[in-house]
Structures are given as structure tokens and as C-alpha cells.
Amino acid sequence: MKASLAWIRQYVPDLNVGYKEFMDAMTLSGTKVEYYEQLDKNLEKIVVGQIEKIEKHPDADKLVVCQVNVGTETVQIVTGAPNIVIGESEGAKVPVVLDGGRVAGGHDGGPLPENGIKIKKGKLRGVESFGMMCSVEELGQSRDSYPLAPENGIYIFPEDTEVGADAIEVFGLHDAVYEFEITSNRVDCYSIIGIAREVAATFGLDFVPPHPAKTGNNEDISDYVSVEVADRDLCRRYMARGVKNIRIGPSPEWFQRLLAKNGHRPINNLVDITNFILDEYGQPMHAFDMDQIAGRKIIVKRAEDGDEFQTLDGKMHTLDHDVLMICDAEREIGLAGIMGGENSKVTDDVTKVLFECACFDGTNNRLASKRLGLRTDSSAKYEKGLDPNNCEEAVNRACELVELFGCGEVIGGVIDVKEELPAPKRIPFRPDWINAFLGTDIPEADMREYFRRLELEVDDETGEVIAPTFRQDLEAEADIAEEVARMYGYDNIPTTLPKGSSTMGGLPLNLRVQERLQDVAEYCGFSQSMTYSFESPKVYDKLRLPEDHPLRKAVVISNPLGEDFSIMRTLPVNGLLTSLGRNYNRRNKDVRLYELAKVYIPKALPLTELPDERVMMTLGFYGEGDFFDMKGVVEEMLVKVGMRKKMTCEPGTIPFLHPGRQADIFYEGDRIGYLGELHPETADAYEIGGRAYIAVLDTGKLMEHIDLGVTYEGLAMYPEISRDLSMLMDSKIRVGVIEEVIEKYAGPYLESYRLFDVYEGERLGEGKKSVAYNLVFRAKDRTLEDADVSVPIAKILEELEKLGIELRK
């Protein structure tokens, strides 16, 4: 919301503060200033001068030499402006920049230089010039603000302007335009009056809002037009007044200037007045050509599905039943609160105008405007949800201005079709509670003063604050406390720490486990990555998932930012693989990444309850290392979260992994994840050259097995017995089979075992391999005897032999 200090001063006449001071004070009292544009920036030493004499320049046809009275002296100025003419311009009063002064820009109205343009005395074609007469463009302004300015030349002041006066003051440019960030609860502040009320309250100054005078002839508008509101749920109030004998013309200059500073291009008195009310009261109005209203009847009702309608900007729209329309006896003539129709727009030939000043439903207006893709100044106000009590003053103010500017004859009476209007709210006022809530000690008298400034009454009999209807945001005591707090100043409220019960801070177990997993990943050289939770369904093709794969059943976003972000991931690997591919393309060597990636598994589709969100510890690398490096990392991780039992791997069938180099990971019979080499086709799809490996652990599954407790076991006191077994077997048999046998038959004294050699070679014969294990036996309470070891070893060998695995001789 824009507002210039000049406009605000219309209602806070005593306002006299610095530009920056104003910004800071308003921001701290709750009307945040985003930025401001200072209009007298780079305008220095500029006065009103009167041209006394004009002579030809001796050496230049296009230049003239002027003697200009600037109040204290008469100075010589050379100019080439086309509107300074010998025999015509003598006596004209013009803005003059004196020697050493500064203007904001050039006469072409181009972009303004940061520090403006310095004006110094000098010679123009040999004739001395002691300053410059200037145009509005050189003052950094446009002809929107100064419509009487000549199209190309020096600005001429009205004749009654005082010679020698500060020209910037005369121009009204000792001013700044502020852009306020209005929060959605303060609908009243989407108006200059609302902002001015806050200004007056912030600086403790008098607030003087307009009180529109009574207007209108002795006719009654109801004799001209009737109004029927068919859909009252979408229109709480419809007011209308009429003006006849319309005289279209320009608005007064001061009025145009206020509008222009606020970003409205002045058009004509009628349009300017509605734009003015839009900003002044925050109340949109629409002007209909009364002669175009068929049957002299306005009907406010929903459109029919499929209706076609042309707005006054010439665009066609297809309507639906939730769009509210203004209709006459025969047809639709306006999109309520959004834009009028081409068929009833006001033209220069208009003689009678109907001013509509209504209160349409904010939500309906917002949604309709969104569906139609048509957001206007008017709908931008309505969508906030306006106060129907505001309509009356606004429409009367418009009529007052019509009379003031002589742009027509206001017809007496007012049409007012309305539902029951909202009444002021009553909220308990307990000063002690407010102080307790804020942690302050503000005297009750001060609170009452704040309320007075904000136009909140206190009812002493009931002990209540009465909130006017324009303050829709005030509902309960906490709201009243905020009014006190912001007027008292947030910065003046003390700082304390909560005195209440002491509580135990900390991380929940699952997050602690995740932190440990992260630590291990990082010790093993993996860096943490983060990728989006949503992705494209095409990912499943890159990952080679069959059409009917259950993981293709994903949670789908109904309004995504395009297909690439349209489904919630069911697999954690796509983001990581994309990141690896990006690194590979950027020629980063040996990249190891991990991600704690959430997947979202729907329980049923379409979704009726929330999906299962599972955090997957996902690791991936390319470059140095192989499958067993990755497997080692997984093993380290499990140990670090207290999963000290044996993790087992079984060949897996995941489509995006190498069919011969992948495994499902089991712990106590539970599948907790998988790992493997990336399928070459998938690696190609992600543009990762060479072999890449990934591992995925379901942290939720880990939580079922973790044990962060530790029990110390005494250090070994008795010697170990170590045995090496070297075996010959079919190379297709996996060593896991041997380990199962060892674990099953090695007896109570087996302390550890370790695979230390695998060999395949011609010497062994085709399809054979030799595998060597070291077994360590030890007892806690005595030195083992040979039989303690030889008996189980014999049993192991016997069992292995049944599987075709022989001791190598």
C-alpha cells in the first residue's frame, strides 16, 4: 500500500517528521515501511523566478538570453527551451536552479542518475548563464503529476506564485512516497485514512478524517434506478448514488498530484474521484453510464455456468456459477468487484452516472479473480474482506468531490440494499491481565490513551473495550494486549527468561541414531547431500522399475510445479544419483555422498490417511572403491548403533542394480536395506561414467534392532588356539555357506573367524576356488586343550564335505 506524506497530512495536519524517522517509527508501531521514495532528492537551490527580459542569443538561433528575477537579485540565464519565446514569455514565473544547485534528471525524462545533476554557472556559445530554468522532467517528475506542464519545455507557474519562493515547496515536492507492508489482518490499513489513523496514534498527533458534507438535489435516485441483490451471501451491502449533467474534465491539479504520487494516472474528474476513494477509504467504486442500464434496474446475482462476458478492457471471459455479476434487466454488465463490462462503460458522452459502492464477499471475489486470471485494483481490495460500514462515507465523499469539482449535479437520496451490518465488538479490558501477559507494568491511564488514539472506546460500566467495525482483527484480549504492546513499543518491553518448570532438553532416540549413522558415513568419506522430496514419475523408468512395480504407487501432488516435481518419492536414490551424475559431469573425482532421504509410502491410493514417512540412510559413490568397500561401511554403521550380531547379505533382484553385484541386507532375519553396484543402464541414465555403488538402510527398521547400551566383557586371560582352514570348492558356492556351518558347529569356544584368502586359478581346475578361513578359539576360564578345538573342527569339515566343500590338501 502506497501513501505519500502529503496525502497523510490531509488527515494528520500536524505531522512534521524526517523521512527516515517516519519510516522507523511506523515500522516499530506495526505499519511496516518497505521503502520510501524521497521526491526532493537531488533538488537543491531551486526558486521561483520571473522572466523580465528576453533577447536573442548573438551566436545561436535556438538559444535566448533571459534576465530572471529570483527575488534577491536578477540573474542572466541562457535557455533553448521551445516555450520561452521573445515577446510572449516575458513576465512568466518559472522554476530556476541557481548556480551551485542540483536537479534530479535531464529534460528527456530518462532514468534518474543516483546523485542528480549539478548546475554551475558557465557560458553557452559565449554568453554567460548563471543557472537554469527547468522542466518537470528535470525535477524527476512526469506530466502525470503536473498535467499543466508543457509537453516539452519549462514549467510555467500560475501568475499568483510568489517570486523568490522555494519552488520545490510550491511544487509540493518536499514529500516522500512510502510503500507499506500491510499484514492481512489489518484490512483498514489498505486505505490512506487507515494509515493516517496509525500515523496519528504513533506520533500522538490529532487525527482529522474527512466528514463528507451532505450532497444532492431534491430528486431521489430511487426514481432513476432500482437495485436488487439476489445472492445476498456474496454481497452484504450495495449502495448506489447518482450524478446527472455530467461535465467530464480534468480534476484540480493538487488532486491529480496526490493520485499520481500514489501511482494512479489522472484520467478525468470522474475516474479520478473513484480512484481517489479507492485509496482514501480503501473502498472500490464503479461508475455505470445510467443510460446504458437496461430497464433502469441493477440485479446482483451469480453468473450461469458458461456465460461469456467482455470486460471493459476488451477481454472475453467464460464465467461459472461462483462468479458474482452485476446485471441490468437484460444482461450482465459487470464482474462484481473486479471489472465493469464493455457494454456499460462510461464514455465522454455520458450524461448520467450511477456510482456503485458495495461490499462483496472477499473470499468469493478472491477465488473468482484467481479463476478468471483478472486481478484489479478493485479486486485487490475486496479480496481482503471489507467492512460494509465503510460504504456510506465513501460514496458520500465521492459525491462531495463531484460537487466540489463541479463535475455534475448529484441526485438526492441513496440506494442502500444490505444485510444486517456488523456491530462493534466488545472485548474485556483487564489492565492487570495485559501487564501479566506482556511482562510489563504499564499504567492503565497510558493504555486508555493508546486506545483513544486508535479510536477504541472503553466502556467503564462494563469494563470493556469497544472495537470499531473497521478493526475486524480485534477479537479477544490478546488482540487488545497487542495494541497496548505496539503503542508502548516492543522495544520498551523488558527481556526476561521463563521462570516456570525446568524441563529436560534433548534429541529423541531416532534422531540420535541418525546422527551416529551420519558420523560413520562421514568418517568413511561420505559427504551429506540434500535433494527434493518430490520428483518426476519418469524417475521410475530411469530406475528400470517394471510398470506394475509397487513403488510406482506414489503420493501425487495435485498442483505441482510441473511434472518434474509432481510425485513424492518412494525411493531414496534418485536425488543422490542425480547429484553423483552432476558431480561426474563437473569432473569431480572419487565422489562419495550420503543423504538421510525421506520416502513417502502411501498406505492406500487415493490417499485417505497420511503416508508412511520413512527416513532412508542412502549412500552412493563412484571412483575408488568397490562393492566390499560399501559393504564395509554398512557393517561399521550397524556396529556403531549397537547392532553387533552378524549382518547377512543375500543376492537381490533390484532392477536398478547390477544383477550379479547386489544384495539384500538382513539382520536377525529382517530385511533392513540393500546395496550393490549400479546397473550400467541406470548409470548411463544418470550420466555417471564407470562403476557406482549405492547402499540404502531403512532407519526405521534399524530402530527395531539398535542397542545403544554397552556391557563390558572381561579381557581374555587365557591363551587362544588359532586354526587355519583352507578349502576347495565349486566357485559358485558362496562363502556365506561356509560361515553358516562354522557358526553352527564351532561350539562354545569359537571367539572369532575371518576370511583371509580367496583364490581362483588354473592350478585348481575350471570352476573351482580355494577359500581360507582363520578360526580363533578361547575359553574364558581355562586354557583350552587340543580336543576342545579338534572335535568341532572335525565336525565343521564333515558338514562342509556334505556340501561338496573339501579341505584342501
Q: Considering only residues 228-247, where is the footprint of another protein by CB under 8 A?
A: none
Q: Which of 9, 10, 17, 32 binds another protein (CB under 8 A)?
A: 32
Is the distance from CB of 422 to CB of 386 less than 8 angstroms?
Answer: no
Q: Which of 210, 424, 431, 525 binds another protein (CB under 8 A)?
A: 525
Is the distance from CB of 318 to CB of 307 less than 8 angstroms?
Answer: yes
Q: Is 662 in the site for another protein (CB under 8 A)?
A: no
Nearer to another protein, 46 or 597 (CB): 597
> Could you tell me the smallest distance in angstroms from the CB atom of residue 355 to another protein?
27
> Could you tell me the smallest distance in angstroms from the CB atom of residue 146 to another protein?
31
The position carrying cell 547377512 is 648
Q: Is 569 in the site for another protein (CB under 8 A)?
A: no
CA distances from 791 to 153, 638, 740, 786 (A): 115, 33, 18, 9
Nearer to another protein, 505 or 714 (CB): 505
CA distance 416 to 795: 104
Who's near 414: CB < 8 A, 6+ residues apart?
A: 221, 239, 240, 241, 392, 395, 396
> Could you tell me the smallest distance in angstroms from the CB atom of residue 338 to another protein?
16
Q: Give the interface segment with another protein, choosing from 104-112, 299-307, 431-439, 797-805 (CB under 8 A).
A: 431-439
- Buried b or exposed e, range 530-564, using 16+ CB within 10 angstroms: ebebbbbeebbebbebeeeeeebebbeeeeeeeee
Q: Is 28 in the site for another protein (CB under 8 A)?
A: yes
Q: Is 568 in the site for another protein (CB under 8 A)?
A: yes
Q: Is 482 in the site for another protein (CB under 8 A)?
A: yes
Q: Give the interface segment with another protein, choosing from 321-329, 438-446, 651-659, 734-742 (CB under 8 A).
A: 438-446
Q: What is the CA radius of gyration of the chain?
A: 42
Closest CA to 789 of 718, 722, 710, 713: 722
Query: In this structure, what C-alpha cell is assigned to residue 22?
Result: 517516519
A 10 A CB-CB count for 649 gives: 19
Q: Is 439 in the site for another protein (CB under 8 A)?
A: yes
Q: Is 135 in the site for another protein (CB under 8 A)?
A: no
Q: Give the interface segment with another protein, choosing from 92-100, 130-138, 163-171, 500-508 (CB under 8 A).
A: 500-508
> Could you tell me the smallest distance in angstroms from the CB atom of residue 321 to another protein?
17
Q: Is 495 in the site for another protein (CB under 8 A)?
A: yes
Nearer to another protein, 565 or 759 (CB): 565
Query: Is the four-CA dihedral 386, 388, 393, 398 of positive or negative sign?
Result: positive
Nearer to another protein, 338 or 568 (CB): 568
> Could you tell me the smallest distance in angstroms from the CB atom of residue 583 to another protein?
5
Query: In this structure, what C-alpha cell is assigned to residue 103?
Result: 536537479
The position carrying cell 458534507 is 213
* Three-state secondary structure call for residue 511: helix
Element housing 809 (H / E)? none
Q: Give the interface segment with another protein, choosing from 140-148, 448-456, 499-507, 745-753 (CB under 8 A).
A: 499-507
Q: Is 491 in the site for another protein (CB under 8 A)?
A: yes
**Taking CA 455 as the corner, what is the angle to CA 453 and CA 458, rounded to the nearest 5 degrees?**
100
Q: Is 214 in the site for another protein (CB under 8 A)?
A: no
Backbone phi and psi for residue 568, each to the nearest 5 degrees, phi listed first: -80, 130
343-382 residues near another protein, rule: CB under 8 A: 362-363, 366-367, 370
Q: Is 499 in the site for another protein (CB under 8 A)?
A: yes
Element housing 28 (H / E)? helix 19-29
Nearer to another protein, 482 or 799 (CB): 482
Q: β-pairing, 131-133 with 2-4?
A: unpaired
Q: Which of 11, 15, 29, 358 binds another protein (CB under 8 A)?
A: 29
Closest CA to 189 of 467, 384, 25, 395: 384
Q: Give the interface segment with another protein, choosing from 107-115, 531-539, 643-651, 658-666 (CB under 8 A).
A: 531-539
Q: Is 524 in the site for another protein (CB under 8 A)?
A: yes
Q: Is 558 in the site for another protein (CB under 8 A)?
A: yes
Query: In this structure, what C-alpha cell is assigned to residue 144?
Result: 502525470
> Which residues are paired to 53 by β-bridges?
67
> Could you tell me the smallest distance in angstroms from the CB atom of residue 457 to another protein?
21
Q: Which of 218, 347, 559, 711 binds another protein (CB under 8 A)?
A: 559
Find how far residue 747's CA is from the centre of its chain.
67
> Could you tell me the smallest distance in angstroms from the CB atom of residue 488 to another protein?
11
Q: Which of 27, 726, 770, 774 binds another protein (CB under 8 A)?
A: 27
Is the distance from CB of 334 to CB of 288 less than 8 angstroms?
Answer: yes
Q: Is 805 in the site for another protein (CB under 8 A)?
A: no
Nearer to another protein, 107 or 426 (CB): 426
Q: Which of 555, 657, 746, 779 binds another protein (CB under 8 A)?
A: 555
In order, the DSSP letters of 575-644 are HHHHHHHHHHHTT--S-EEEEEEEEEE-SSSS-SSPPEEEEEEEEEEESS--HHHHHHHHHHHHHHTT--
Q: Which of 93, 186, 631, 658 binds another protein (CB under 8 A)?
A: 186
Q: Is 561 in the site for another protein (CB under 8 A)?
A: yes
> Could you tell me the smallest distance in angstroms from the CB atom of residue 570 to another protein?
12
Q: Quick one: angle between helices 19-29 and 192-203, nearest 10?
A: 90
CA distances from 529 to 236, 576, 592 (A): 54, 7, 10
> Could you tell me the smallest distance in angstroms from the CB atom of residue 657 to another protein?
21
> Could you tell me the smallest distance in angstroms from the CB atom of residue 464 to another protein?
17
Q: Is 486 in the site for another protein (CB under 8 A)?
A: yes
Q: Is 185 in the site for another protein (CB under 8 A)?
A: yes
576-615 residues near another protein, rule: CB under 8 A: 579, 582-583, 586, 588, 590-594, 598, 600, 606-607, 610-611, 613
> Which residues are paired to 64 by β-bridges?
56, 79
Query: In this structure, what C-alpha cell is assigned to residue 211?
Result: 466528514
Is the distance from CB of 273 to CB of 253 less than 8 angstroms?
Answer: no
How many positions of this chain bind another protein (CB under 8 A)? Answer: 91
> Could you tell me the smallest distance in angstroms from the CB atom of residue 758 to another protein?
26
Q: Is 477 in the site for another protein (CB under 8 A)?
A: yes
Nearer to another protein, 155 or 594 (CB): 594
> Which residues are paired to 802 by β-bridges?
none
Q: β-pairing, 592-601 with 527-528?
A: parallel
- The contact pattern for another protein, residues 165-184, with x = CB under 8 A and - = no contact, is ------------------xx
- The contact pattern for another protein, residues 263-282, with x = CB under 8 A and - = no contact, is --------------------
CA distance 717 to 325: 94
58-77 residues near another protein, rule: CB under 8 A: none
Q: Quick one: angle between helices 253-261 and 269-280, nearest 10?
A: 50
Q: Is 751 in the site for another protein (CB under 8 A)?
A: no
